[in-house]
């Protein structure tokens, strides 16, 4: 895949900060940043991580071109020539840990940790958050949608309504990670190997003298792949009867009509009528696909009404995350490396949820050995031995009354090394592997945490050492 250079895809204040660091000769100081978010979107109980592949491509192609440098020269900041030379030589030399795409993740735990020269670590904040926030948001929305009808097929139809091309392309990949089955976007199909699918539009029908001619013509061209859109004129009186006629004609030629698509009106009523009419005509194998501003709530309601729909085309609501259009992921400085020691740093806030958690940390998923289900996530300093601990005190830093001691557990570190000293040490998994990993991850959680309405709160806790450093630092700053 062609790598796109997005080095200037950053906020100006990042460039100005790294310039000021350079002027003060602080730019080589090693710093640690954590990326995390504070609240699940859509009132969901979890989020689904996506965006890592693009972050890896971005970091691997991090280079200021001469064009970029020329642009920087036009800026009123009047950056020194020495700084521009430093930029000319820039590449990522740091270490980056991340959870894997498809992972189930929760608020307030590091999902990406960057340890690098401040010069690099500061520069990449904007793009890294941009990729992580959008793709994780869409994967989470897709997961909610898929969950309401796990045995049905879901197709991503949102390109025309997406916030421009990148969102459409990477959004359809995010949806596929979280369980969608295909996309209408051909570029995503080509780039990522996602199954691409398509029916036809109303314009196809309107371009012929009659609906039946339009259906026949399409079936002639695609005799074994035809899905007919039946709502251009009158769904019950002409659309479905004409589709049945064409289905029977196809049968006579040894083919099978694949499906019909409903795109307006009462989708429950029409689908039940359509199913009956198709079955009575011997076309019980013809599937019914629905579209029209669908989201997880409408689909759930249609399932509840007993709609006879097998496949769902979901566009606008998914690709724009319409009911919660951003994920508020942040990237915070958590430690300064001084002479081989990591000095934890903190950002204080009146809102306890916004106080940062200091130090060089990692995240363990604590799994009950008997049930093989996740109990909670445990944030500890990297040098704490969590895996071999006899017992853990799961102590919630915000809701301090929540405490439990766990004994028979496996601690699985969910942050994985992606770059070590600038070198990529992580082999990119295939999308198939990512989908499998996602499903394995889902199976680690009790359904109480996964349900779409009022899910149980999943515990994300701090080790006692992290909590102590945090409270001591808070006390020292107040
Ligand atoms: N049985 C149903 N129960 C609940 N919601 C439904 C049902 N049937 C359709 N819907 C949803 O109701 C909304 C109907 O929107 P709208 O009134 O704009 O569509 P329409 O008039 O049928 O079609 P269009 O305007 O696209 O020709 C859509 O989001 C659709 O998915
Ligand atoms: O509704 P979405 O979930 O976004 O799914 C994609 C929509 O795009 C197409 O409609 P079109 O662009 O022709 O316009 P329409 O929505 O007015 O039918 C298609 O027929 C779906 O209705
Ligand atoms: O193939 C389809 O039916 C389709 C594709 C994009 C948007 N709406 C429908």
CATH of the domain at 268: 3.20.20.70
268 and 146 in a common domain: yes
CA distance 212 to 218: 10
Out of 320, 353, 372, pick the residue that ends a domain.
320
154, 180 Cβ separation under 8 angstroms:
yes
pLDDT of residue 25: 98
84: left (phi over 0), alpha (psi -120 to 50) or beta: alpha
85-107 pLDDT, tens digit each: 999 999 999 999 999 999 999 99
* Residue 195 predicted with pLDDT over 60: yes
| Shortest-distance Cα residue to atom 17 of ligand 1 | 265
* Residue 70 predicted with pLDDT over 90: yes
Per cent of the chain over pLDDT 70 is 99
Rounded to the nearest angstrom, the distance between the alpha carbon of 292 and the centre of ligand 1 is 6
CATH code where residue 59 lies: 3.20.140.10
| Shortest-distance Cα residue to atom 3 of ligand 1 | 302
Average pLDDT of the chain? Answer: 97
288, 271 Cβ separation under 8 angstroms:
yes
What is the C-alpha end-to-end distance of the chain, expressed in Å?
51
Tokens 């029977």 locate to: 248
21-33 pLDDT, tens digit each: 999 999 999 999 9
Out of 267, 294, 320, pick the residue that ends a domain.
320
In a domain, 115, yes or no: yes
* Residue 275 predicted with pLDDT over 90: yes
* Residue 4 predicted with pLDDT over 90: no
Hey, which of 264, 273, 288, 305 would you mutate to test ligand 1's pocket, going by the most ligand atoms within 8 Å of its Cβ?
264
34: left (phi over 0), alpha (psi -120 to 50) or beta: beta
* Residue 354 predicted with pLDDT over 70: yes
* Residue 377 predicted with pLDDT over 80: yes
When pLDDT is cut at 50, 70 and 90, the band that residue 1 belongs to is low
392-450 pLDDT, tens digit each: 999 776 676 777 899 999 999 999 999 999 999 999 999 999 999 999 999 999 999 99
When pLDDT is cut at 50, 70 and 90, the band that residue 2 belongs to is low
Rounded to the nearest angstrom, the distance between the alpha carbon of 151 and the centre of ligand 1 is 23
Query: The tokens of 237 are what?
Result: 């009186």
42-60 pLDDT, tens digit each: 999 999 999 999 999 999 9
Domain limits for position 150: 141-320
CB 264 less than 6 A from any atom of ligand 2: no
Rounded to the nearest angstrom, the distance between the alpha carbon of 324 and the centre of ligand 3 is 23
155 and 76 in a common domain: no
* Residue 255 predicted with pLDDT over 80: yes
CB 268 less than 6 A from any atom of ligand 1: yes
253 and 169 in a common domain: yes
Out of 320, 339, 357, pick the residue that ends a domain.
320
In a domain, 261, yes or no: yes
HSE at residue 195, side-chain half, CA atoms within 13 A, is 10
> Kind and range of the H or E element at 120?
helix 118-123
Average pLDDT over residues 215-226: 98
Is the entire prediction scored with pTM above 0.90? Answer: yes
Rounded to the nearest angstrom, the distance between the alpha carbon of 172 and the centre of ligand 1 is 23
Rounded to the nearest angstrom, the distance between the alpha carbon of 238 and the centre of ligand 1 is 20
CB 265 less than 6 A from any atom of ligand 1: yes
| Ligand 3 atom at shortest distance from the alpha carbon of 198 | 1
Q: ipTM beyond 0.85?
A: yes
């Amino acid at each position: 895949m062609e790598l796109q250079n997005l080095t200037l895809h950053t906020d100006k204040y990042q460039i100005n900060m790294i310039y000021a660091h350079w002027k003060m000769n602080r730019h080589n100081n090693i710093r640690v940043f954590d990326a995390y978010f504070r609240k699940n979107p859509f009132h969901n109980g979890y989020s689904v991580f996506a965006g890592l592949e693009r972050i890896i491509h971005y970091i691997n192609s991090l280079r200021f071109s001469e064009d970029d440098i020329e642009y920087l020269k036009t800026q009123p900041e009047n950056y020194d020539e020495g700084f521009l030379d430093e930029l000319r030589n820039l590449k990522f030399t740091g270490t980056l840990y991340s959870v894997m795409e498809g992972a189930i993740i929760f608020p307030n735990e590091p999902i990406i940790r960057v340890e690098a020269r401040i010069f690099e670590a500061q520069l990449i904040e904007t793009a890294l958050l941009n990729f992580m926030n959008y793709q994780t948001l869409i994967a989470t929305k897709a997961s909610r949608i898929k969950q309401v009808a796990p045995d049905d097929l879901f197709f991503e139809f949102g390109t025309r309504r997406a916030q421009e091309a990148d969102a459409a392309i990477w959004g359809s990949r995010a949806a596929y990670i979280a369980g969608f089955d295909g996309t209408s976007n051909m570029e995503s199909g080509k780039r990522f190997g996602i199954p691409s699918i398509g029916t036809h539009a109303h314009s196809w029908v309107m371009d012929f003298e009659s609906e039946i001619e339009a259906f026949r013509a399409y079936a002639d061209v695609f005799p074994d792949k035809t899905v007919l859109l039946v709502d251009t004129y009158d769904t019950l009186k002409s659309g479905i009867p004409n589709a049945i006629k064409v289905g029977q004609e196809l049968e006579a030629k040894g083919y099978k009509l694949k499906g019909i698509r409903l795109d307006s009106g009462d989708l429950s009523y029409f689908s039940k009528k359509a199913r009956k009419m198709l079955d009575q005509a011997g076309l019980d194998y013809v599937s019914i696909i629905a579209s029209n501003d669908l989201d997880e709530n409408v689909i759930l309601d249609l399932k509840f009404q007993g709609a006879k729909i097998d496949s769902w085309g979901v566009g606008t609501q998914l690709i724009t995350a319409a009911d919660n259009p951003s994920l508020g992921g942040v990237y915070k400085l958590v430690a300064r490396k001084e002479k081989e020691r990591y000095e934890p740093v903190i950002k204080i806030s009146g809102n306890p949820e916004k106080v940062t958690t200091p130090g060089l940390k990692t995240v363990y998923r604590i799994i009950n050995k008997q049930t093989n289900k996740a109990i909670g996530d445990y944030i500890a300093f990297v040098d704490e031995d969590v895996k071999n601990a006899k017992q853990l005190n799961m102590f919630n830093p915000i809701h301090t009354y929540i405490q439990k001691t766990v004994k028979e557990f496996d601690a699985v570190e969910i942050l994985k090394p992606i770059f070590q000293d600038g070198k990529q040490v992580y082999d990119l998994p295939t999308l198939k592997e990512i989908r499998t990993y996602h499903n394995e991850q889902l199976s680690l959680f009790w359904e109480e945490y996964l349900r779409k309405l009022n899910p149980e709160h999943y515990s994300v806790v701090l080790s006692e050492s992290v909590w102590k450093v945090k409270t001591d630092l808070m006390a020292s700053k107040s």
